[in-house]
Every structure is written in structure tokens, then in C-alpha cells.
Amino acid sequence: MIVKTRFAPSPTGDLHIGGARTALFSWLYARRHGGRFVLRIEDTDRERSTREAINTILEGMAWLGLDYDEGPFFQTERFERYREVIQMLLAQGKAYCCYCSRERVEQLRAGQLSRKEKPRYDRRCRSLTKPPADASTPPVVRFKTPEEGETVVDDRVRGRVVFRNHELDDLIIVRADGTPTYNLVVVIDDMDMAITHVIRGDDHLSNAARQINLIKALGVAPPVYAHVPIILDEGGRKLSKRAGAASVMEYRDQGFLPEAMLNYLVRLGWAHGDQEIFSIDEMVEHFDIHEINQSAASLNRPKLLWLNQHYLMTCDPSHVGRHLSWHLGVRGIDPVDGPPIEEIVKSQAQRSKTLLEMAEQSLFFYRDPTDYDAKAARKAFSSQTPGLLARVRAELSGLEDWTVEGVHDAVMAVAHALGVKLGEVAQPLRIAVCGGPVSPPIDITLSLLGREATLRRVEAAEVWIQRNVGNAGSALDSAPGQP
């Protein structure tokens, strides 16, 4: 048997984190067993499904690297197949037309609830051979659920779950407008696509019983089910698309790497010993649906940030750089106009928890300062600073090879000549070239900026200080000026 899993989102919103975890679990199980992974778009809800949501789902899957072997299939393109199966079920007496009005069904339900009974259709039309005389609306089609016995879901996460058939409804499989319903089309799709394992949220567990009865009516064996527990937000509330669960692409926009997201998602409800860091290959090697926890998993942003920084520091800098380039582009920066992007990653990885932080902290590599951080300038700039910067500029301009080592030696030479500590030279120099008090080590910073940009920025800072500090230093007590 070839293992075949599927991810079947409805395009009524973004790909949120719960759906992404389901996709990952399904993808991993197929990859571990040398099987196939199918992407199916369940877009029969025409009122709520949108092309924009479909594109967002596809974009999220691509960003996470969850490639699919078949699809994407769209249910709206398979209506002819659904009609074929519906006619077969009607002809075999396994389904029937129900002419009850919506008002009657609602009154029936209200009465059952008032008597504290489980609401379900009373099967009034189940044995009809022709429409009743008082039929005034197009009928729905209902499936003839077995009236006796039990339906057992042998779930790989929840264990053996038993449903009494007399408590199950004769579910509607075709609406009055002729459109098929979720439970029917899912069964037909899983059958036609030879899906062997269905991994999905445990809010579908009750649907599994209904779907198993439908599958048996079609004469095929049901797939293996694994219903994974819900995800809770950091406040302990259930995550849901309708409640505004964070979309996968929001995490991208916040500066997370896909590797960190995958590692984070796989640990939401699954574990392999005490291991926390998993490469993709390790996930594929170790993942098993039998090891999924039954209890709900909770989001933990500090852990995600920790994972993200780990991958920022350990992934190939050129790979991180490709993702960093996107964040720089959003900020109007063309990375080609600055130092090699992988060198910026190397210099900033230990200083950043997200790509968003890394991008913000790296803007100075691409733009000359237009002002200086007021607090930092007040502390580091004085009337003597222009002279200090001029000596640094003279020392740097004489370098034959603009390297980290050469820059370091030049700055140290000025500190020794003035009889001061390195920091007393490096910090005003840093603010002069970066505009603020934070950057990678000054020798790395200047080597990446390059000779021309460094000398230009140092000279501009000298002029600014001479104009704004003077004897009173009043400019540093107000808003920063322009260099």
C-alpha cells in the first residue's frame, strides 16, 4: 500500500497556524513512508471562498516548503463527479429526498432541545416513494444512516471512539439548491484520490463517524484517521480562523524563518524524547502519528523566538540572506546597493531574534544617517569629538587594504595615540557612521560599510558636531539636527 495523505483547507481565510500544523503532520507522514501528499482546496462554500484566500494558502505552503505531489485539486471543478455519486446513492436506496420545510425542521429541533434530547431529523421522508402532496420547496437529499448498531472510529490519536448509529442524523448530502455538502464531497474525494490516512483537527472527530458510514455505503474501506488536538493561544483560548488565529504569513511578516516555524509547529502536540531542535530530515525520520499527544498544545512565543534565533545563527547565511532581502525590500532597500547580504547576516545573527529586527538594525548599511540618536549623541559627542573623528578619518584613509583587521588596527592606533580606551573612540565613531549607539563590532561595521561610505559619514559627523555642539551644546538637548 502506498501511503497517501492530504491537506484540504477551505479558502475562506488565510492559512492559519492550526491548518499549517495539520499540513505539516500530513506532509511528514507521507514523506516518512515514501508516500504521496495531496493538496485539495475545499471551495464548495461559494459565498465565503475567495481567490485571494486560495492564493494566500498556496503562498503559505510555498513559504513553509510543504511541496505537494498532486494538486491543487478544487472541489468546484468536480461537481459532475459528485452528481454521479449522488444519483447512484439515490438509485441504490442509500439516500432519499427530504421535502420537509426549513420551518418544520427548526420546530422539530427546538422541541427536542426543550426536552433535552439530542437534536436530529426524525426521518419522516425516509420511506417516501414520491413527493408528498404538500411539498412546496425543492427537496434536500439525505443519507440513510444505519439505524442500528455502532460506528467505530479507530483513531490513531484518540484511540477507539464509538458512536451509536441511532444517535446519528440522516445528514443532508445535497442542499435544496443542488450543491453537495462537505461530508459527502470529502468522502468522494478521499475515495477517488486513494487517500489512506486522514490527519486533521479533532473538531472533525464526529464527522468521521458520518463519513465512515458514507464510505461503507460506497463500498470502499475507510482511511486511517488521526484527529489531532486543538491549539490554544497564550491565554488558553481555542485558536480558530474565525476568531482571528494568526496566519502563517503574519509570522513571515514578523521576521520568522520557515525552518523555525516548522520546528515550532511540529512540537505543538508531538514530541520525540526531549529533543527540541529538529531539522527537516530529522522530522521526516522520527515523526509518527502514534506519538501525537491527546491534550491541547499551547502557543509559546518566547520559545518561537528562541528557535528563530537559533536558525538565524545556524542556517546558511546566504539562505537567511534571501529571506532578509525580502524584509529589506519592504523597507525600500535594494540589497544589491550594500554589502554582501550574507556578511550582514553573519554580523547581525547573534544580535537579532527575528529577521524584522535584523532588517531594522541593518538599515544604516544602506543609508547615510540623516540624524543622530539624541541620547547617544548627548553622551558621546563633545566639542573635542570632531578632532577625534578627524584623526580616525586620517588613519583610515591611509589604509591600503580595507579589511576587518586593518580597520581594527587603525582605530586602536588612534586610541593609543590619544591615551584612551578603545570604547572612547569606537562609540562616537559608531554613532557617526550608523546614527545610533548599536551596531556589530566597529571593525566589522566599518569593513562592511566600505572606505568611501565610512569616510563620507565621519566627515559629515564632524561638520554636524562643530555646528551643533559648540560651547553650549544646546542642540543635543533638543531634537537631533541634520548632518
Looking at the fold, whether 335 and 405 belong to one and the same domain comes out as no
Looking at the fold, whether 418 and 381 belong to one and the same domain comes out as yes
Looking at the fold, whether 423 and 357 belong to one and the same domain comes out as no
- Identify whether 96 is part of a domain: yes
Contacts of 429 by beta carbon, 8 Å cutoff, 6+ apart: 389, 392, 411, 442, 446, 458
Q: Quote the pLDDT of residue 44.
A: 83
SS (H, E, C) the chain: CCCEEEECCCCCCCCEHHHHHHHHHHHHHHHHCCCEEEEEECCCCCCCCCHHHHHHHHHHHHHHCCCCCEEEEEHHHCHHHHHHHHHHHHHCCCEEEECCCHHHHHHHHHHHHHCCCCCCCCCCCCCCCCCCCCCCCCCEEEECCCCCCEEEEEECCCEEEEEEHHHCCCCEEECCCCCECHHHHHHHHHHHCCCCEEEEEHHHHHHHHHHHHHHHHCCCCCCEEEEECCEECCCCCECCCCCCCCEHHHHHHCCCCHHHHHHHHHCCCECCCCCCCCCHHHHHHHCCHHHECCCCEECCHHHHHHHHHHHHHHCCHHHHHHHHHHHHHHCCCCHHHCCCHHHHHHHHHHHCCCHHHHHHHHHHHCCCCCCCCHHHHHHHCCCCHHHHHHHHHHHHHCCCCCCHHHHHHHHHHHHHHHCCCHHHHHHHHHHHHHCCCCCCCHHHHHHHHCHHHHHHHHHHHHHHHHHHCCCCCHHHHCCCCCC
Q: Quote the pLDDT of residue 479.
A: 36
Computed over every residue of the chain, the mean pLDDT equals 93
Catalytic residue among 94, 144, 241, 379: 241
The CATH number assigned to the domain holding 421 equals 1.10.10.350
Looking at the fold, whether 382 and 472 belong to one and the same domain comes out as yes
Reported residue count of the chain is 483
What is the separation of C-alpha 362 from the centre of its chain, rounded to a whole number of angstroms?
25
Looking at the fold, whether 337 and 397 belong to one and the same domain comes out as no
Given a cut of 70, whether residue 476 has pLDDT beyond it is no
**Residue 303 annotated in active site:** no
**Confidence tier at 471 by pLDDT (50, 70, 90):** very low
**Confidence tier at 259 by pLDDT (50, 70, 90):** very high
Model confidence, pTM? 0.90
What integer is the mean pLDDT of 74-100? 96
Query: Which residue, of 141, 174, 207, is where some domain finishes?
Result: 174
Total number of domains in the chain: 3
Looking at the fold, whether 361 and 407 belong to one and the same domain comes out as no
- Identify whether 188 is part of a domain: no
Q: Which of 260-264, 293-297, 391-395 has the lowest mean pLDDT?
A: 293-297
What integer is the mean pLDDT of 380-387? 95
Q: Quote the pLDDT of residue 238.
A: 82
- Identify whether 141 is part of a domain: yes
For a pLDDT cut of 90, what percent of the chain falls above it?
87
The CATH number assigned to the domain holding 97 equals 3.90.800.10
Looking at the fold, whether 391 and 359 belong to one and the same domain comes out as no
Query: Which residue, of 174, 189, 208, is where some domain finishes?
Result: 174
- Identify whether 129 is part of a domain: yes
Q: Quote the pLDDT of residue 69.
A: 98
- Identify whether 211 is part of a domain: no
What integer is the mean pLDDT of 134-148? 91
What integer is the mean pLDDT of 82-109? 95
Q: Quote the pLDDT of residue 134.
A: 80
Q: Quote the pLDDT of residue 482.
A: 36
Query: Which residue, of 365, 382, 403, is where some domain finishes?
Result: 365
Expressed as residue numbers, the domain containing 327 is 317-365
Residue type, 164: R
Residue type, 243: A
Looking at the fold, whether 387 and 453 belong to one and the same domain comes out as yes
Looking at the fold, whether 118 and 95 belong to one and the same domain comes out as yes
